[in-house]
């Protein structure tokens, strides 16, 4: 059986656009004489639809689009993900489902059993979990076991500890399935592609069945889906693989003993994967939200330089505007480095000094601040003036304001609400500072995009005389490791101290992370590339007193 996998880039709620992509994939599959076309999880409505699923009109639109797709099928069958409404006395009355379309109608429906409610997922909020009998679908006498995303992530042999008490793959194999098909919307984070490939190969080997895995591609809000669809034979060897971070359609001959396979090469984590993920997330966020241009402040520092370089690669130089906003504390290099970056990138660049505006605000506040020493309040006035100017630019000329803060600074609150946190998308908010530098060097791999002086000067917010980040924070390599332990791995205080860190330092970092939750709750959505990003996948109370 020749099978086609279409990893398409869907938009949530765009039934017309998503259907157009699906029909284009069907036409290509028909032209290639494929017998079955497989599409991603919830491909018809887009993933994740979140609370749109609670709107009856949204489900009705899904049903209408599914009927139209079914009517189009002829010689090639199609498996497509959709939200299925059912009449039931109990439960939510909605399933995350896959429909087999063919012969001009819906031939069969299979439902998702395992509904993730961890990290960025909350599917039990919307769907009922299927708990009936597991029966393969049959095409040309071949029995195919259909699973949906999480259904394949619960193998009792592969995982030391399982989240669920049932294994749909095991049940389908016992029911006589001759291959396992998985419709997926599995978001990217660093390290996940390699783990996923190992898991799929283990499932194929354990059950002695080919595995067909079709994953979504594209950016949807904070989440990035890298695709990476693949077909593995019964020995766990890859016989077809789609490129990552781009839409693609691949083909494979199931049950063909002569089909060529490739050695199971592990997916190595590359800095270029991080770059491609951020480019995809930024490009799709703008495209799907209707922004044709972006604006950002250029400080001459590493963070804004990296964001600007990514924006140009994702959107084109003509769609990017940089603004330098020096204060009386800014070094001469901050402006020259920002200007050099803008010239290297070929983007529009403006300089709007804030010294006079700062003096005006300081004068207004002088009676209130009389008798006090200058400190954080005066520093934050500068940051908020910059935020105001950038927002004024987007209001006047249109566009999306990009924030440029990194994960290390956001974690410990080294950022200003309504100042440098102002904006609509936080492009590198999930990149620790060390990774920002690594990405910057990678962006310079062909030519000098980011000035060398930006790469080599000590990081500084330049909000007071001779200020350096090191005045308030430990070295970034130390800070980043502490944050990975506490934020990403949830290591307790005692365990972090046992790793060799001074108790006072550990307590200081934990305190800063915990007390700045209120800032992060008000931050722009950030593109997720690590296993634990700030945002929808990390839910910590703001008002709480636990520390440990």
> Residue 331's pLDDT band (boundaries 50, 70, 90)?
confident
pLDDT score of 45 more than 90: yes
pLDDT score of 266 more than 70: no
Nearest to 249 by CA among 32, 423, 522: 32
Work out the percent of the chain whose per-residue pLDDT is above 90.
88
Which fold would CATH assign to domain 2-257? Answer: Nitrilase/N-carbamoyl-D-aminoacid amidohydrolase (3.60.110)
pLDDT score of 512 more than 80: yes
The pLDDT tens digits for 441-459 are 999 999 999 999 999 988 7
Same fold across 2-257 and 274-470: no
Instruction: Pull the structure tokens for residue 276.
Output: 């491609």
As to burial, measured by CB atoms within 10 angstroms (0-12 exposed, 13-18 middle, 19+ buried), residue 74 is exposed
Beta-carbon contacts of 346 under 8 Å, excluding residues fewer than 6 positions away, are: 312, 317
Q: Report pTM.
A: 0.93
The pLDDT tens digits for 269-319 are 689 999 999 999 999 999 999 999 999 999 999 999 999 999 999 999 999
Which are the catalytic amino acids? 41, 112, 149
> Rounded to an integer, what distance in angstroms lies between the CA atom of residue 223 and that of residue 12?
12
Mean pLDDT of the chain: 94
Beta-carbon contacts of 507 under 8 Å, excluding residues fewer than 6 positions away, are: 493
pLDDT at 256: 72
pLDDT score of 548 more than 90: no
> Residue 546's pLDDT band (boundaries 50, 70, 90)?
confident
The pLDDT tens digits for 49-88 are 999 999 999 999 999 999 999 999 999 999 999 999 999 8
Segment 384-400 mean pLDDT: 96
> Residue 332's pLDDT band (boundaries 50, 70, 90)?
confident
The pLDDT tens digits for 144-179 are 999 999 999 999 999 999 999 999 999 999 999 999
Return the half-sphere exposure (C-beta side, CA atoms, 13 A cut-off) of residue 476. Answer: 19
Paired with 148 in beta bridges are 183
The correct CATH number of 274-470 out of 3.40.50.970, 3.40.50.620, 3.30.365.10, 3.30.300.90 is: 3.40.50.620
> Rounded to an integer, what distance in angstroms lies between the CA atom of residue 533 and that of residue 406?
11
pLDDT at 519: 95
pLDDT score of 268 more than 80: no
The domain spans of the chain are: 2-257, 274-470
């Amino acid at each position: 059986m020749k099978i086609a996998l279409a990893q398409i880039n869907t938009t949530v709620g765009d039934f017309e656009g998503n259907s157009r992509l699906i029909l284009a994939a069907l036409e290509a599959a028909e032209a290639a004489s494929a017998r079955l076309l497989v599409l991603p999880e919830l491909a018809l409505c887009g993933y994740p639809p979140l609370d749109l699923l609670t709107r009856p009109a949204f489900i009705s639109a899904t049903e209408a689009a599914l009927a139209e797709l079914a009517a189009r099928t002829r010689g090639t069958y199609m498996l497509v993900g959709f939200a299925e409404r059912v009449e039931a006395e109990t439960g939510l009355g909605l399933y995350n489902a896959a429909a087999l379309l063919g012969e001009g109608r819906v031939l069969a429906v299979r439902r998702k059993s395992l509904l993730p409610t961890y990290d960025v997922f909350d599917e039990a909020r919307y769907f009922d979990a299927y708990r009936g009998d597991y029966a393969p679908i049959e095409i040309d006498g071949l029995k195919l076991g259909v699973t949906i995303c999480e259904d394949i992530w619960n193998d009792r042999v592969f995982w030391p500890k399982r989240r669920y008490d049932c294994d749909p793959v095991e049940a389908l194999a016992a029911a006589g399935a001759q291959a396992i098909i998985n419709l997926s919307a599995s978001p990217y984070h660093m390290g996940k592609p390699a783990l996923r490939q190992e898991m799929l190969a283990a499932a194929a080997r354990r059950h002695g069945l080919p595995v067909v895995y079709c994953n979504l591609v594209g950016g949807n809000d904070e989440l990035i889906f890298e695709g990476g669809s693949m077909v593995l034979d019964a020995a766990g060897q890859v016989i077809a693989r789609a490129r990552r971070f781009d839409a693609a359609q691949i083909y494979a001959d199931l049950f063909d003993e002569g089909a060529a396979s490739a050695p199971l090469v592990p997916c190595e984590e590359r800095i270029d994967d991080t770059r491609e993920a951020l480019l995809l997330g930024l490009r799709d966020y703008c495209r799907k939200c209707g922004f044709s241009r972006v604006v950002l402040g250029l400080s001459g520092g590493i963070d804004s330089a990296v964001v600007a370089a990514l924006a140009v690669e994702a959107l084109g130089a003509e769609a990017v505007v940089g603004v330098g906003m020096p204060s009386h504390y800014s070094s001469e290099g901050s402006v020259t480095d920002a200007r050099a970056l803008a010239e290297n990138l070929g983007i529009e660049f403006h300089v709007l000094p804030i010294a006079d505006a700062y003096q005006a605000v300081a004068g207004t506040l002088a009676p209130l601040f009389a008798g006090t020493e200058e400190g954080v309040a005066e520093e934050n006035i500068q940051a908020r003036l910059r935020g105001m100017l950038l927002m004024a630019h987007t209001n006047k000329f249109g566009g999306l304001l990009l924030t440029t803060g990194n994960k290390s600074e956001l974690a410990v609150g080294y950022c200003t609400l309504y100042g440098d946190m102002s904006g609509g998308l936080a492009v590198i908010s999930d990149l620790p500072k060390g990774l920002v530098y690594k990405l910057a060097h990678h962006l310079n791999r062909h030519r000098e995009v980011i000035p060398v002086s930006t790469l080599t000067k000590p990081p500084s917010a330049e909000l007071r005389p001779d200020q350096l980040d090191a005045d308030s924070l430990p070295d970034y390599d130390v800070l980043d490791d502490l944050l990975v332990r506490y934020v990403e791995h949830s290591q307790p205080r005692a365990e972090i101290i046992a790793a060799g860190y001074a108790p006072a330092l550990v307590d200081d970092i934990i305190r800063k992370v915990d007390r700045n939750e209120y800032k992060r709750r008000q931050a722009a959505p950030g593109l997720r590339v690590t296993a634990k990003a700030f945002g929808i996948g990390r839910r910590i109370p703001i008002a709480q007193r636990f520390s440990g």
